[in-house]
Amino acid sequence: MACCPKSVISEIVKAKGAIKSVYFVACGGSYAGLHPGKYFLESESKELKVDHYTANEFCHATPKALGADSIVITQSSSGNTPETVKAAEIAQKAGAASIVITNKPESPLAQNGDYVLVPEKGSTANSGQAYSLKLAVEILNQTEGYENYDEMYNGFDRIDKIVGNATQFIAPRAEKWAKMYKDEKLIYTMGSGSAHSVAYSFAICLLMEMQWVNSSAIHSGEYFHGPFEITDRETPFIVFMSEGRTRPLDQRALDFLKQYAEKLMIVDVKELGINTIDDKVVEFFNPLLLVHAIRVFAQKLSEERKHPLTVRRYMWKLEY
Amino acid sequence: MACCPKSVISEIVKAKGAIKSVYFVACGGSYAGLHPGKYFLESESKELKVDHYTANEFCHATPKALGADSIVITQSSSGNTPETVKAAEIAQKAGAASIVITNKPESPLAQNGDYVLVPEKGSTANSGQAYSLKLAVEILNQTEGYENYDEMYNGFDRIDKIVGNATQFIAPRAEKWAKMYKDEKLIYTMGSGSAHSVAYSFAICLLMEMQWVNSSAIHSGEYFHGPFEITDRETPFIVFMSEGRTRPLDQRALDFLKQYAEKLMIVDVKELGINTIDDKVVEFFNPLLLVHAIRVFAQKLSEERKHPLTVRRYMWKLEY
C-alpha cells in the first residue's frame, strides 16, 4: 500500500505496463470531488480513455473497456457508500487497479482498494479533490509525459495559502448574501470547465441536501441554450467565475445576468487570489479553491436560516 | 459527401485507418440529442476515447487528443449555432473528420462538415438522435466489431412504430398531468443511463426555455446522494423509467418517491412498448422513444398554461 499519488501510480504502471483507461467513480459530493482529475485527463491526455461515473451507473452499466489495463479511482469519505464499495469491488474483479480515497482506512471501501489514500485533515493540497487531480497528473506524466508537471506541483504548494486568504476574504460577502437570500426557495448555481463540478456540488449537497433549497447547476456554456429564459429579477443565481480557458463562457453568462437578473452573486477565483499559480495550469485548481468558498456560503446561509448543515429529513433516518 | 451513417464511417475509416477518439459536440437540446451515441460508445467500445462537450467548452478547452485520428460529430438543427459552427471548424483545422447533423445542408455548420447528415422529417429511425447512435454503432462495428449489430438495426426498424403508438398512448396522461401541474413554478425531471439526456433536455429546453418553469435534471443514481432531501408532498417530479441495465437505479428512486412525494409522474418506456426491441440493445433506444414522450408533455403543458412553446423573452430578440 503506497503512501501518495506519485508512488501509487508508479507501482501500478510498473506492475501493469500499459494503462488504457481511467475511471473516476463515486456518488454525490464525492462524485463531484473526483471531477478535477477527470477534467484534467480529458483535456491533457492524448491516449487514455477517461470517464466519470456516478457509482451505481458504473455498477449496473459497467463499461466494456474495464479490465486489467484500467485504473478505477473511487472516493467516499466514510468509506461506507454501498454503491461506491460495489464499484471498487467490480473494478478489482475485472483486474483493474483500484485506488480508493477515503477518510477511513479500515472501511468497506478501503477493503476493496489495492491502494488507499487518506486525505490530510485541514490540507487542500492533500484533500480528496487534490488526490484526484494528483493521481491524474501522475498517470499522465508517468505514461505520456506532462510538460507542466513542475508548475502543477508548484500550484499544490501554493493552494493552501490561497484558500486560507480566500475564505477570510469571502466571509463578509457570504454573510451579506446569506442575509439577503435566506428566504429564497430556489437558487441556481453556474460554472464551467473544472468548476462546473463545484456548481454541481453546491447545488445538490449544500443547497438541496443540507438546506432543502431547490437548485440546479447550470453549465455556463449551456446557459444560452435553454436555461437563460428563466432569468428574471426575482430568480437568484450564484456564478462561479473560473480562471483559465473557459472563463469567457462564464463572463458571457455573467454579462447577460448583470443586465437581466438582480439577485446575483459572483464568486471569482481571480478575486480570491488564484493567480499566484502559473497560468499554464491555473484552471485545474479552480475547484480546489472554490470548494472552500461554497462551504463559507453554505455555513452563512445555514446560520441565517437557522437550519444547521447537519439536519436531514431522510438520510441516516430510514432505509432506502 | 456520403448519404448515411454507415457509408460516412466507412469512408472515414478507409481514409484514416485508425480512429482513436470520438467527440460529440453541440449545445442545449442538440447536445442532449448527441448523448445516445456517446453513451453507446462509452459503454461498448474497448479502445476509443469518447467524450461529450457543450460546444463552447470544446472550442475554448479543446482536448489535446483532438487530431487526425479523431471524429467530431456536431449537431444544430438550424446549422447556425455559432459555438457549434466554431467547434466543427476547430475539428477540421485539427485534421479530424467532421460529421455534421443539421436540417440545413447549406448552413454555416454544414460548411464546416466533411460529411453532412440531414435528419428525415417525421422519422425517428433517421432523426438526429438516431444518427448520433447509428454513427456510434458504425464506428464501433467498423473498428472493433460489434456483436449486436443486427439487433441494433432491427431496433431502428421498429422504433417508428413504437413511437407512433407511444405518443398516442401517453397523450391523455400528459393532458391530465398538465391540468394538475400547470401552476407549478418548479418541476424536477429524473432519469439514468441513456435516458438522463432526455431528463436534461426536458428540464432545460422544454421547461426552462419554452415554459419558464424552473427545473433540474437529477440523475437517478445521484438522487440519494443529495437531491432526495428536497423531496416532499409539494414538489413535483417526472421520472423517466429506462429499460435496460440502469432501470434498477430509476426503480429505487421511484420506490422512494412513491412514499414521500405526491406530485409524481412516471413515464416508463416499458409501458410505452419498447420491449419489442431485443433485450441486448434495448437500453440504447430509451432516449429515441422518450424524446417524443416529453414533447407530448410539453405540448399539453403549454396549452394548459396558455404559453406557446415558441414564446421567448430573450432568444431571437436581442444580442447576447
Cα A59 to Cα A56: distance, rounded to the nearest angstrom: 5
Please give the residue of chain B at the shortest CA–CA distance from A67: B46
Phi-psi region of B86 (alpha: psi -120 to 50; beta: other; left: phi over 0): alpha
Residues of B in contact with A309 (CB under 8 A): none
pLDDT, residue A317, reads 83
CATH number, domain B162-305: 3.40.50.10490
Pick B320's closest partner by Cβ from A81, A224, A313.
A224
Tell me the residue type at A15: A
> Domain locations in chain B?
5-143, 162-305
CB B7 within 8 A of CB B117: no
Scan for cell 424552473, then name that residue. Answer: B214
Q: Is B210 on the interface with A (CB under 8 A)?
A: yes
Reported ipTM = 0.97
* Residue A198 to chain B, least CA–CA distance (Å): 14
Residues of A in contact with B313 (CB under 8 A): 229, 231-232
Is residue A289's pLDDT more than 60? yes
Neighbours of B63 (CB within 10 A): 22
Q: Is A153 on the interface with B (CB under 8 A)?
A: no
User: A176 in helix, strand or coil?
Assistant: helix
User: A17 in helix, strand or coil?
Assistant: coil
Does A245 sit within 8 Å of B60, measured CB to CB? yes
Please give the residue of chain A at the shortest CA–CA distance from B30: A225
CATH number, domain A160-305: 3.40.50.10490
Scan for cell 479500515, then name that residue. Answer: A106
Residues of A in contact with B60 (CB under 8 A): 193, 245-246, 248-249
Taken in order A97, A100, A106, A111, the sign of the CA dihedral is negative
For chain B, which ranges sit under pLDDT 50? Answer: 1-2
> A306 burial class (0-12, 13-18, 19+ CB within 10 angstroms)?
exposed
| Residue ranges of A 264-293 with Cβ closer than 8 A to chain B | 283
Q: How confident is the model at residue A319 (pLDDT cuts 50, 70, 90)?
A: confident
* Span A176-200, pLDDT tens digits: 999 999 999 999 999 999 999 999 9
Tell me the residue type at B106: E
Cα B185 to Cα B203: distance, rounded to the nearest angstrom: 13
Secondary element (H or E) of residue A272: none
Please give the residue of chain A at the shortest CA–CA distance from B228: A209
Does A51 sit within 8 Å of B61, measured CB to CB? no
Cα B8 to Cα B139: distance, rounded to the nearest angstrom: 10
pLDDT, residue A318, reads 83
- What's the count of helices (H) and strands (E) in chain A, helices before strands? 11, 9
The angle that helices B286-305 and B149-181 make with each other, rounded to 10 degrees, is 20
Q: Is A144 on the interface with B (CB under 8 A)?
A: no
Cα B83 to Cα B61: distance, rounded to the nearest angstrom: 13
The neighbouring-strand residues paired with B117 are: B101
* Span A267-277, pLDDT tens digits: 999 999 999 99
* Span B193-230, pLDDT tens digits: 999 999 999 999 999 999 999 999 999 999 999 999 99
Q: Which CATH class is domain B5-143?
A: alpha beta
Query: What's the predicted TM-score (pTM) here?
Result: 0.97
Strand ranges inside A41-153, DSSP E: 49-54, 70-75, 97-101, 115-117
Q: How many residues does chain A have?
A: 320
Please give the residue of chain B at the shortest CA–CA distance from A30: B225
Cα B51 to Cα A190: distance, rounded to the nearest angstrom: 21
| CA angle A315–A76–A153, rounded 5-degree value | 140
**For residue A134, what is its C-alpha cell?**
494528483
Identical fold, A5-143 and A160-305: yes
| CA angle B67–B72–B73, rounded 5-degree value | 175
Tell me the residue type at B223: Y
Cα B20 to Cα A81: distance, rounded to the nearest angstrom: 35
Residues of A in contact with B204 (CB under 8 A): 218, 222, 225-227
The neighbouring-strand residues paired with A72 are: A23, A98
pLDDT, residue A320, reads 82
Q: Is B192 on the interface with A (CB under 8 A)?
A: yes
Secondary element (H or E) of residue A142: helix A128-143
Cα A182 to Cα B249: distance, rounded to the nearest angstrom: 33
Residues 6+ apart with CB under 8 A from B104: B77, B78, B79, B80, B110
Residues of B in contact with A209 (CB under 8 A): 225-230
Pick B49's closest partner by Cβ from A49, A213, A315.
A49
Identify the CA nearest to A101 among candidates A91, A86, A113.
Answer: A113
Cα A88 to Cα A39: distance, rounded to the nearest angstrom: 21
**For residue A82, what is its C-alpha cell?**
454501498
pLDDT, residue B259, reads 96
- Cα B277 to its chain centre, rounded Å, is 19
Average pLDDT over residues A131-152: 98
Structure letter (DSSP) for residue B264: E
pLDDT, residue B79, reads 97
CB B193 within 8 A of CB B242: yes
| Residue ranges of A 17-36 with Cβ closer than 8 A to chain B | 20, 27-29, 31
Residues 6+ apart with CB under 8 A from A35: A24, A52, A132, A194, A196, A197, A200, A287
Tell me the residue type at A25: V
Average pLDDT, chain A: 97
Determine which of A59, A141, A204, A281 to mutate to test the interface with B (most B C-beta atoms within 10 Å). Answer: A204
Does A230 sit within 8 Å of B57, measured CB to CB? no
Write the DSSP assignment of A188-201 as a string of letters. EEEE-GGGHHHHHH
> B233 burial class (0-12, 13-18, 19+ CB within 10 angstroms)?
exposed
CB B274 within 8 A of CB B182: no
Q: Is B45 on the interface with A (CB under 8 A)?
A: yes
Cα A116 to Cα A8: distance, rounded to the nearest angstrom: 9
Strand ranges inside chain B, DSSP E: 21-26, 49-54, 70-75, 97-101, 115-117, 186-191, 214-219, 237-241, 264-268
Please give the residue of chain B at the shortest CA–CA distance from A217: B216
Cα B59 to Cα B81: distance, rounded to the nearest angstrom: 13
**For residue A238, what is its C-alpha cell?**
450564484
* Span A3-62, pLDDT tens digits: 699 999 999 999 999 999 999 999 999 999 999 999 999 999 999 999 999 999 999 999
Residues of A in contact with B186 (CB under 8 A): 185-186, 214
Higher pLDDT, residue B315 or A219: A219
Cα B201 to Cα B314: distance, rounded to the nearest angstrom: 19
CB B20 within 8 A of CB B49: yes
Does B51 sit within 8 Å of A49, measured CB to CB? no
Determine which of A56, A86, A218, A246 to mutate to test the interface with B (most B C-beta atoms within 10 Å). Answer: A56
Is residue A1's pLDDT more than 60? no
Determine which of B27, B35, B42, B56 to mutate to test the interface with A (most A C-beta atoms within 10 Å). Answer: B56
pLDDT, residue B90, reads 98
Is residue A215's pLDDT more than 90? yes
Determine which of B84, B196, B216 to mutate to test the interface with A (most A C-beta atoms within 10 Å). Answer: B216
Pick A222's closest partner by Cβ from B31, B246, B252.
B31
User: A168 in helix, strand or coil?
Assistant: helix
Q: Is B250 on the interface with A (CB under 8 A)?
A: no
Q: Is B305 on the interface with A (CB under 8 A)?
A: no
Pick B214's closest partner by Cβ from A193, A214, A255.
A214
- Alpha helices (H) in B182-241, listed in sequence order: 196-201, 210-211
Taken in order B10, B14, B15, B20, the sign of the CA dihedral is positive
Task: Give the up-direction half-sphere exposure of residue A50: CA atoms within 13 A in the CB hemisphere.
Answer: 25
Neighbours of A263 (CB within 10 A): 18
Cα B65 to Cα B73: distance, rounded to the nearest angstrom: 15
